């Protein structure tokens, strides 16, 4: 499926989250993970255009940025998007990380707890570093909230196939998950497989 993305809005409190009039109640996919893990880059890779701001400075995304994904070319936009992507601020930026909720903006928990349209969470973990406690905490929180999620291993281009296979195995074990989809926003490796998981997870 070919999508065209349209930036909807930036929200820093629940009252600002886009309502049905903007999204038509389309299923939403949230991009979650530590600062600098590659959330905004992955969003851009999935839609094939530079919609979200990418930065080498961690902590760049400070609000939840919502994007509407329409099927086909821009001229043929149906009013209601097929999907909504939500690019979230990262956690784990502070050097001394107590818990993810302590340093995450206060509007994120209500988003995860209450957002009705939220159909699938993408939990991004860096394949180039050892498993992070903050990532395990997020995955546990989503399990407790009964939010469907997919764990995505980012920056796979920086590793050899052998190193990547090892990293994925270590991440699976540490986070106690069945699958980690390895991707690269630089080479687009794994992007097709992730799209398949997104379409399945959102039933689009
Ligand atoms: N080699 C490589 N670098 C990547 C990849 N994805 C992202 N990066 C780099 O990682 C840095 C952070 O990328 P972002 O996409 O802004 O990360 P983010 O998770 O949105 O960061 P915050 O908004 O600060 O939470 C940038 O310098 C990107 O170029 C990838 O697949 N491969
Ligand atoms: Mg970002």
* CATH code of the domain in which 156 resides: 3.40.50.300
Residue from 10, 30, 37, 38 whose mutation best tests the ligand 1 pocket (most atoms within 8 A of CB):
38
Give the relative orientation of helices 161-175 and 133-144 as an angle to the nearest 10 degrees. Answer: 50
Task: Mark the residues whose beta carbon lies below 5 A from ion ligand 2.
Answer: 39-40, 61
CA distance 115 to 84: 12
Confidence at residue 99, expressed as pLDDT on a 0 to 100 scale: 58
Closest CA to 38 of 14, 56, 19: 56
pLDDT tens track for 110-154: 899 999 999 999 999 999 999 999 899 999 999 999 999 999 999
Q: Which atom of ligand 1 is nearest to the CA of 90?
A: 25
Q: Does the pLDDT of residue 30 top 70, yes or no?
A: yes
pLDDT at 11 exceeding the cut of 60: yes
Whole-number Å distance, alpha carbon 203 to ligand 2 midpoint, is 26
- For 146-191, what is each residue's pLDDT tens digit? 999 999 999 999 999 999 999 999 999 999 999 999 999 999 999 9
CA of 115 to the centre of ligand 2 (A): 20
- Gap from CA of 7 to ligand 2 centroid (Å): 14
Q: Which helix (H) or strand (E) holds 87?
A: strand 83-87
Q: How many domains is the chain partitioned into structurally?
A: 1
Contacts of 90 (CB under 8 A, 6+ apart): 33, 34, 35, 36, 37, 39, 58, 59, 61
Q: Residue whose CA is closest, atom 9 of ligand 1?
A: 38
Kindly state the tokens that stand for 34. Answer: 């530590």
By residue range, what is the domain housing residue 59? 3-202
- 124 Cα nearest atom in ligand 1: 19
Rounded to whole angstroms, the Cα distance separating 131 from 203 reads 30
Distance 24 CA to ligand 1 centre (A): 30
Residues in contact with ligand 1 by the CB-under-6-Å rule are 33, 35-41, 54-56, 58-61, 89-90, 154-155, 157-158, 184-186
Ligand nearest to the CA of 93: 1
Write out the two tokens for 107: 């509007």
Q: Whose CA is nearest to atom 26 of ligand 1?
A: 56
């Amino acid at each position: 499926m070919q999508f065209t993305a349209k930036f909807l809005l930036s929200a820093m409190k629940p009252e600002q989250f886009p309502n049905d009039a903007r999204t038509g109640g389309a299923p939403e996919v949230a991009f979650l993970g530590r600062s600098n893990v590659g959330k905004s880059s992955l969003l851009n890779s999935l839609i094939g255009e530079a919609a979200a701001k990418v930065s080498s400075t961690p902590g760049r995304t400070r609000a939840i940025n919502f994007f509407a994904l329409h099927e086909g070319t821009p001229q043929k936009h149906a009013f209601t998007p097929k999907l909504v992507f939500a690019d979230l601020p990262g956690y784990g930026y502070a050097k001394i990380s107590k818990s993810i909720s302590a340093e995450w903006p206060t509007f994120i928990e209500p988003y995860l707890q209450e957002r009705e349209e939220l159909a699938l969470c993408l939990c991004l973990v860096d394949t180039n570093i050892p498993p992070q406690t903050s990532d395990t905490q997020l995955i546990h929180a989503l399990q407790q909230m009964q939010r469907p999620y997919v764990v995505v291993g980012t920056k796979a281009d920086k590793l050899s196939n052998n190193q990547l296979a090892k990293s994925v195995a270590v991440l699976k074990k540490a986070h106690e998950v069945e699958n980690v989809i390895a991707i690269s926003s630089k080479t687009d490796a794994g992007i097709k497989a992730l799209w398949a998981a997104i379409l399945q997870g959102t039933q689009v």
